[in-house]
Structure 1
């Protein structure tokens, strides 16, 4: 597994999410400007609902921007323990401790990108190859760390 390629793919996925949120915010702002009506209170309520939606989208966009900044600090270097930037292979799957992005595929292999703050990453934090950890009463053994 090439960690540099995995980092590049992860950054691309985050960039796609950023573009989608920026587009949604722009479209929602445009529809907010189009809701002109002589209905009085209904007009104000509709505008307020659209503004709340824009605020919600902005919060989500800011979170993804933070994730992108966080990824800049992840270097494609080998790891010998489960920590930020490590690719951890267990009996249950392959995990990239980086950002919460879910499942991605690279070289026909499924990798689950998890945040260092996730319960799974916290359970395996600091562990090395051959160590076991437990989460939700399920024990897993670390087979390999890159």
Structure 2
């Protein structure tokens, strides 16, 4: 398994999300400037709502930037145990411990990208190939780690 290609796919998705939020913030700020008027409270309420939307988008952008920072620290080196950067195959699926981006497709296989903070990763963290763990009353065994 080429983990560097998986990292590159995730980096691309994060870059797209970052650009998306930056564009939305710019558009929302532009529309905020268009609503300046001396018409009174109705427009002040509208501008406040737009500002809250900008703040919400900024929070989401900051989360993407934090995910990018976490991903920068992850290497494609082989892993012997479940840790950040490990690609883990269990009897239930394939998981890449990095940032939570959901499902990606790599080499015609579904790979779930999961954060080290997720309950699943916490349950299997530090385990080695052949070991098992249980989460939500479902037992899984680790078949391989890259």
The alignment's TM-score, normalised by the length of structure 2, stands at: 0.96
Structure 1 residue 32 corresponds to structure 2 residue 27: no
Secondary structure at 1:130's aligned position in 2?
coil
Post-superposition Cα deviations, 1:35-68, rounded to whole Å, max 9, x if no partner, equal 2344411101111111011011111111111110
Partner Cα separation in structure 2 for residue 30 and residue 97 of structure 1: 38
The residue number in structure 1 matching 2:42 is 42
User: What stretches of structure 2 of length at least 5 have no aligned partner?
Assistant: none
Partner Cα separation in structure 2 for residue 106 and residue 42 of structure 1: 51
Q: Runs of 4 or more off by more than 2 Å in structure 1?
A: 36-39
The residue number in structure 2 matching 1:81 is 81
The residue number in structure 1 matching 2:129 is 129
Partner Cα separation in structure 1 for residue 78 and residue 41 of structure 2: 60
* Count of aligned pairs between the two proteins: 146
Give the alignment of 1:12-27 within 5 angstroms: 12-27=12-27
The residue number in structure 2 matching 1:102 is 102
Partner Cα separation in structure 2 for residue 136 and residue 41 of structure 1: 52
Give the alignment of 1:103-122 within 5 angstroms: 103-122=103-122
1:137, CA displacement in angstroms?
A: 1.1
Partner Cα separation in structure 1 for residue 23 and residue 48 of structure 2: 20
Q: What value does the CA root-mean-square deviation take over the aligned residues?
A: 1.0
Secondary structure at 2:100's aligned position in 1?
coil
The alignment's TM-score, normalised by the length of structure 1, stands at: 0.96
1:112, CA displacement in angstroms?
A: 0.6
1:33, CA displacement in angstroms?
A: 1.2
1:30, CA displacement in angstroms?
A: 1.0
Partner Cα separation in structure 1 for residue 29 and residue 48 of structure 2: 12
